[in-house]
Amino acid sequence: MEHLFKTFLLFAATALCEIIGCYLPYLWLRKGGSAFLLLPAAISLMLFVWLLTLHPAATGRVYAAYGGVYVSVALLWLWQVDGVKPDRWDITGCMIMLIGMAVILLGPRASN
């Protein structure tokens, strides 16, 4: 169970780095922010890529499972940063994604 919790935290940190790395250029391009936002954006995206390498599972499976957590973090971002409260359809979709992620991560595997 501890391994699952650590994996989820790693996925959440990865998602946050990806969202920040994309949000900062958005602020620069669409909201008139400073071009200096590109430096922390680049660092955040490098950290995102590095965090993806820390997972022991096959990369395709990691990316597929990561998608479920990314959706969750994106909805939290929508609520906390954009000020838009997720509705019941957002929450339902998020729960479906997290169930899918659990199936991918926890499903029995044949030994190779």
User: What is the per-residue pLDDT across 59-106, written as a single tens digit (0 to 9) for each?
Assistant: 777 788 888 889 999 999 999 999 999 999 999 999 999 898 888 878
pLDDT at 46: 97
Closest by CA to 57, choosing from 18, 94, 4, is 4
- The two tokens of residue 47 are 């950290």
7-35 pLDDT, tens digit per residue, is: 889 989 999 999 999 999 999 999 999 99
Residue reference for tokens 């890529």: 49
For residue 62, which phi and psi values (nearest 5 degrees)? -60, -45
- pLDDT tops 70 at residue 111: no
Task: State the number of CA atoms in the 13 A half-sphere of 38 facing the CB.
Answer: 6
